[in-house]
């Protein structure tokens, strides 16, 4: 399986309901590029996976549709699953986003600073995967605090140990307070000069599906090496409460629904995926054409590279009636 291994990690039945059917795709294209081809090819992969009668499905057409936009993915070279995931999510968002919101925010009456928030278009991708981080930045001289928001779909988290640690250790490391010094100093508008600052991130909007990218590389001088740390991650009840701003703690408990594994080194290797069937709750391993049911105890491995956690209970998709 190539970098498309995460495809099987897509929240499956939920996505089927929202697949672009004919009429939805007939709206004006969002950009000169025809990214709706990617969404259509994706819809076919999802339909084949859920409704087809083959034991395994090849995402070749989907990959070539994405490859016409990003030629790097058509070559037989090694690509990074996390980068591929971000490209796919962006393309699906571009194809499926709604436009009507945009007009209202282009009005001159809306202050420029507020426009961005209103202008953010929504799609199934943003509704499922988009979260927001809030950074508080405190000047260490005058102690004045400023705040900055940043949208994310994949949270890249550092690994604090070479041998063994937990996902919570990685999260604590990501969310701990950091000091900005030297070249990273901020311009403090109160001191009117560059100052050292203390910065801390917290989650101001938790997405329904949290994707964690484990930064399995370490830089030693000019050398980059892969971190083979055995990271323990919970299958159920991942508690994000300590990292979510108190006023936004709506869905604090997350359950693991998929894992992308990477075998090999930084410049080459092999991807596989584990996914939980949301109907039967059984775990499956996807390794090229080999698909097999695995026990829950096999889901925890030291090869995990991307982790998908969902905070919403699964519900059987219902066809929505449109008036």
74 or 189: whose CB is closer to Zn ion? 189
How remote is the C-alpha of 18 from its chain's centroid? 18
| Binders in 176-235 for Zn ion, by CB under 5 A | 188, 190-191, 195
The H-or-E segment that residue 135 falls in is strand 131-139
**Near Zn ion by CB under 5 A, which window of 45-53, 142-150, 199-207, 302-310?**
142-150
CB of 258 within 8 A of CB of 276?
Answer: yes
116 or 187: whose CB is closer to Zn ion? 187
CB of 137 to Zn ion, least distance (A): 10
46 or 139: whose CB is closer to Zn ion? 139
139 or 155: whose CB is closer to Zn ion? 139
139 scored as a contact of Zn ion (CB under 5 A):
yes
CB of 256 to Zn ion, least distance (A): 43
Strands 209-214 and 217-220: unpaired
CB of 61 within 8 A of CB of 44?
Answer: yes
Give me the phi and psi of 44, to 5 degrees please: -65, -40
Scored b (16 or more CB within 10 A) or e, 82-115 reads: bebbebbbebbbbbbbeeeeeeeeeeeeeeeeee
CB of 245 to Zn ion, least distance (A): 23
- The DSSP line for 177-236 is -EEE-GGG-EEETTTTEEE-EEEEEEEEE--SEEEEEE--EEEETTEEEE---EEE--SS
CB of 171 within 8 A of CB of 155?
Answer: no
Out of 26, 27, 141, 187, which residue is the one contacting Zn ion (CB under 5 A)?
141
**Near Zn ion by CB under 5 A, which window of 46-54, 109-117, 134-142, 169-177?**
134-142
CB of 121 within 8 A of CB of 97?
Answer: yes
54 or 183: whose CB is closer to Zn ion? 183
Q: Is 103 helix (H, G, I), strand (E, B) or coil?
A: helix
193 or 236: whose CB is closer to Zn ion? 193
Out of 142, 145, 282, 302, which residue is the one contacting Zn ion (CB under 5 A)?
142
Strands 209-214 and 197-205: unpaired
Q: Give the dihedral sign, CA 301/307/309/315.
A: negative
For Zn ion (CB under 5 A), the number of binding residues is: 7
**Near Zn ion by CB under 5 A, which window of 21-29, 62-70, 99-107, 138-146?**
138-146
282 scored as a contact of Zn ion (CB under 5 A):
no
95 or 195: whose CB is closer to Zn ion? 195
137 scored as a contact of Zn ion (CB under 5 A):
no
CB of 193 to Zn ion, least distance (A): 8
| Binders in 92-131 for Zn ion, by CB under 5 A | none
CB of 192 to Zn ion, least distance (A): 8
- Give me the residues that bind Zn ion (CB under 5 A), please: 139, 141-142, 188, 190-191, 195
């Amino acid at each position: 399986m190539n970098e498309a291994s995460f495809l099987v990690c897509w929240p499956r039945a939920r996505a089927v309901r929202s697949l672009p059917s004919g009429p939805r795709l007939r709206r004006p294209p969002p950009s000169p590029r025809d990214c709706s081809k990617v969404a259509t090819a994706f819809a076919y992969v999802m339909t084949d996976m859920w409704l087809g009668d083959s034991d395994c499905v090849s995402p070749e057409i989907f990959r070539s549709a994405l490859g016409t936009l990003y030629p790097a993915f058509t070559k037989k070279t090694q690509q990074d699953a996390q980068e591929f995931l971000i490209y796919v999510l962006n393309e699906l968002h571009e194809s499926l986003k709604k436009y009507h919101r945009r007009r209202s925010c282009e009005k001159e009456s809306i202050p420029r600073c507020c426009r961005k928030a209103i202008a953010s278009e929504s799609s199934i991708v943003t509704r499922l995967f988009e979260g927001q981080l809030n950074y508080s930045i405190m000047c260490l001289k005058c102690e004045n605090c400023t705040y900055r928001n940043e949208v994310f779909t994949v949270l890249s988290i550092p690994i604090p140990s070479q041998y063994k640690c937990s996902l919570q250790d990685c999260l604590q490391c990501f969310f701990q307070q950091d000091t900005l010094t030297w070249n990273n100093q901020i311009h403090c508008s109160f001191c009117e000069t560059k100052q050292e600052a203390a910065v801390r991130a917290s989650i101001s909007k938790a997405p329904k599906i949290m994707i964690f990218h484990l930064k399995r590389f370490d830089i030693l001088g000019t050398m980059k090496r892969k971190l083979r740390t055995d990271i323990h991650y919970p299958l159920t009840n991942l508690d994000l409460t300590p990292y979510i701003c108190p006023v936004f703690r709506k869905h604090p408990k997350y359950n693991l629904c998929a894992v992308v594994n990477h075998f090999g080194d930084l410049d080459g290797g092999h991807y596989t995926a584990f996914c939980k069937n949301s109907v039967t709750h059984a775990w499956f391993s996807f390794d090229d054409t080999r698909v097999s049911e695995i026990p829950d105890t096999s889901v925890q491995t030291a090869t995990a590279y991307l982790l998908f956690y969902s905070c919403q209970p699964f519900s059987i998709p219902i066809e929505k009636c449109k008036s």
